[in-house]
């Protein structure tokens, strides 16, 4: 895996495929960001605390179960101009919330109830997600952006959740009051597997050291463990949170079946080969499909109790000029989507749904680190002249995985 330069403070990118996906953890020495107008560190902390404390109305997106947590630290992710784009609020003992630094974006962009966010170990897929968020928020700083009323409403609810002098339903200036409800499913899997010790036991050493299993193998193996198929494996001897001998055997078999290229700095394979291996080598249904990412398809899959294998690239390269311009992607990662929470915004009186915000539960394949919910489908921006843009990279996934 190549080194990736990201402009962050005390921190931290989501999706794509085609070439080898090879991943390892990396270290960072991010620059210091300067604070600017928008959401302050104090306000971001307040939003995150209200999210975890349950001080917001029941239908809103919030942590579950609701518990009292203490803020450990607030990390700042700057944009390309060194201004805050995102805040990551870490809680003690566990949990983090990713808060937008702009009120032109939804307040809550990602969260985990079970892990903290560490600078050094963020997986490539998550880094790509962060980069996309930064790109969108930078664009939103323009004055010609239409901000949905749902976004404004959500900020008010998180910033002033207990203001006794503000009742949006009775506010004469807010007759079109937007409220919300949450629909959820999963997480489906119980595994928090990784690529190293306990999982790579049976791999061939390189210069006396065992290489990582590879993210494609780990993602595929976790989905197979969920379905507990084929029956030739002793699934009940595979622990959920650490590698056993049978788990290592599965990892090696999957690696061979996808043509894994093993290396000490990251083992790589094509995600498309995982689909083919599941069908031809392990007897899964031929209806399994390697396709372009579509959030509605993913929600349908999760609703049918089928985890989805994702892949993506942390780095997008554009070379050449004009008609000779070529775009390529590198620094890939594969992981599993195994749940969702959907926040539906609707009009209080009519019940008309005005907007949906989908948060997908991602299992990154890093021993449970960073597993959590991340905003998935709000990359779109509408300008005052009616034009739109979208910040999604090239995204693909394997759907309809079942025996």
From the candidates 23, 227, 333, 397, give the one annotated as an active-site residue.
Answer: 333
- Catalytic site residue 23? no
From the candidates 215, 337, 345, 397, give the one annotated as an active-site residue.
Answer: 215
- Catalytic site residue 215? yes
SS (HEC) of the chain: CCCCCCCCCCCCCCCCCCCCEECCCCCCCCCCCCCCCCCCHHHHHHHHHHHHHCCCCCCCCCCCCCCCCEEEEEEEEECCCCCEEEEEEEEECCCEEEEECCCCCCCEEEEECCCCCCCCCCCHHHHHHHHHHHHHHHHHCCCCECCCHHHHHHHHHHHCCCCCCCCCCCCCCCCCCEEEEEEEECCCCCCCCCCCCCCCCCCCCECCECCCCCHHHHHHHHHHHHHCCCCCCCHHHCCCCCCCHHHHHHHHHHHHHCCCECCCCCCEECHHHHHHHHHHCCCCCCCCEEEECCHHHHHHHHHCCCCEEEEEEEEEEEECCHHHCEEEEEEEEEEEEEEEEEEEEEECCCCCEEEEEEEEEEECCCCCCCCEEEECCCCEEEECCCCEEECCCCCEEEECCCC
Catalytic residue numbers read 215, 333
């Amino acid at each position: 895996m190549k080194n990736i330069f990201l402009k962050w403070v005390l921190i931290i990118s989501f999706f794509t495929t085609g070439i080898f996906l090879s991943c390892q953890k990396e270290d960072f020495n991010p620059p210091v960001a300067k604070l600017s107008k928008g959401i302050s560190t104090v306000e971001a902390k307040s939003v995150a605390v209200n999210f975890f404390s349950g001080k917001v109305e029941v239908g809103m997106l919030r942590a579950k179960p609701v518990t009292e947590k203490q803020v450990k630290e607030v990390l700042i992710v700057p944009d390309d101009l060194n201004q805050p784009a995102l805040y990551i609020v870490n809680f003690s003992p566990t949990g983090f919330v990713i808060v937008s630094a702009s009120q032109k974006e939804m307040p809550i962009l990602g969260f985990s109830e079970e892990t903290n966010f560490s600078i050094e170990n963020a997986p490539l897929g998550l880094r790509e997600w962060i980069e996309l968020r930064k790109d969108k928020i930078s664009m939103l700083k323009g004055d010609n952006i239409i901000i949905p009323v749902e976004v404004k409403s959500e900020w008010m609810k998180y910033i002033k959740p207990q203001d006794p002098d503000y009742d949006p339903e009775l506010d004469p200036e807010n007759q079109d009051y937007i409220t919300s409800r949450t629909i959820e499913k999963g997480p489906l899997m119980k595994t928090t597997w990784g690529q190293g010790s306990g999982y790579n036991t049976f791999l061939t050493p390189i210069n006396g050291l065992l290489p990582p299993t590879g993210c494609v193998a780990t993602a595929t193996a976790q989905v197979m463990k969920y379905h507990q198929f084929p029956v030739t494996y002793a699934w009940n001897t595979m622990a959920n949170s650490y590698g056993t001998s049978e788990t290592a055997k599965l990892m090696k078999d999957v690696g061979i079946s996808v043509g894994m290229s093993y290396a000490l700095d990251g083992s790589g394979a094509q995600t498309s080969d995982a689909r083919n291996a599941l069908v031809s080598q392990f007897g899964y249904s031929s209806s399994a499909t390697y396709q372009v990412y579509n959030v509605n398809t993913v929600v349908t899959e999760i609703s049918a109790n089928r985890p989805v294998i994702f892949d993506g690239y942390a780095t997008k390269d554009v070379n050449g000029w004009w008609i000779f311009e070529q775009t390529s992607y590198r620094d890939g990662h594969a992981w599993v989507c195994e749940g969702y929470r959907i926040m539906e915004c609707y009009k209080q009186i009519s019940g008309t749904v005005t907007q949906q915000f989908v948060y997908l539960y991602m299992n990154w394949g890093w021993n449970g680190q960073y597993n959590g919910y991340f905003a998935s489908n709000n990359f779109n921006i509408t300008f005052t002249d009616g034009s739109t843009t979208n910040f999604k990279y090239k995204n693909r996934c394997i759907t309809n995985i079942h025996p």
